[in-house]
Amino acid sequence: MPELPEVETIRLSLDRTVIGHTITAISGSKPTIDPGNLPPVSGRKIAGTARHGKFLFADLDSGSSLVFHFGMTGNLTLVPGDEPDPPYSRAEIFFDDHARLAFTDPRRFGRLGWAPDRAAFIAGRRLGPDALTISRERFLADAAGTGRRAKLFLLDQHRIAGIGNIYADEILFAAGIHPHSVLQECDPVRLSLIATAVPYVLNSAVDHAADFGKFPETWIIPYRACGESCPCCSSPIDRVVVAGRYAYFCPFCQR
């Protein structure tokens, strides 16, 4: 599932390819897009991009924004005018240079919509601060004040937006914190380790274009499976269930 690093990687690609392009049409099918809920955007230029958590925004010169959420398998591909649609293309944004931006999504959980005001959209979704911009002080205060378990706290998009299942595991592994640790019971040093791990893991993943094959060998992501060995101590990787999802961890490094 695309998490913050994947979405940021897509945003950086859009910055290089579509800013300044003029939209001529948007097409697609439900549930990915509901054309009836889109205002006329023909003739509007893409003025910039932004991201908050797992949401990607293509800001238009009108002040409104196209909003992308990628669900489990969504992605964006810029297609030259003479090339066929990529597989699983569910919606397309056409530009005046005859290129088009294809929203591909095998499992159809992604959505392309529109927001008249980006800040109001974020507030309406009650999203917490973005995981890459939240201040260390805010993070530590929120973490110290909650009785939630560590992984549940990181996954709560109302607390901190952008972290999903996979990167939550990596953050806790980097911090040496068990996913079931109750944050209120953690001392300030342990909370500080989590606060440090959040930007380290997310920025590193973005630097590697969210390509798992390029991640450091000391990360747990390549070994998130029972039977694998911890890259740091060689102990068997274990897992527990957190909110219906598996959390992978090293029982030695994350006691």
Among residues 2, 129, 179, 231, the one annotated as catalytic is 2
Q: Give the end of a domain, one of 124, 152, 174.
A: 124
Q: Do residues 180 and 120 both lie within one domain?
A: no
Q: Residue 106 sits in which domain range?
A: 4-124
CA 160 to each of CA 177, 197, 217, 243: distance values in angstroms, whole numbers, following the listed order: 18, 14, 27, 17
151 is catalytic: no
Count how many domains the chain has: 2
The two tokens of residue 162 are 């952008």
Answer yes or no: is 254 within a domain: no
Q: Do residues 116 and 210 both lie within one domain?
A: no
Give the mean pLDDT of 143-151.
95
3 is catalytic: yes
Among residues 44, 54, 111, 151, the one annotated as catalytic is 54
| 109, pLDDT greater than 90 | yes
Q: What is the CATH number of the domain that holds 233?
A: 1.10.8.50
Looking up tokens 């999203």, which residue turns up?
Answer: 127
Answer yes or no: is 150 within a domain: yes
Q: pLDDT tens digits for 148-176?
A: 999 999 999 999 999 999 999 999 999 99
Q: Do residues 107 and 140 both lie within one domain?
A: no
Q: pLDDT tens digits for 26-74?
A: 999 899 998 778 899 999 999 999 999 999 999 999 999 999 999 999 9
- DSSP helix/strand/coil, 149: strand
**CA separation for the pair 140, 126 (Å, rounded):** 20
54 is catalytic: yes
Among residues 106, 125, 245, 251, the one annotated as catalytic is 245
2 is catalytic: yes
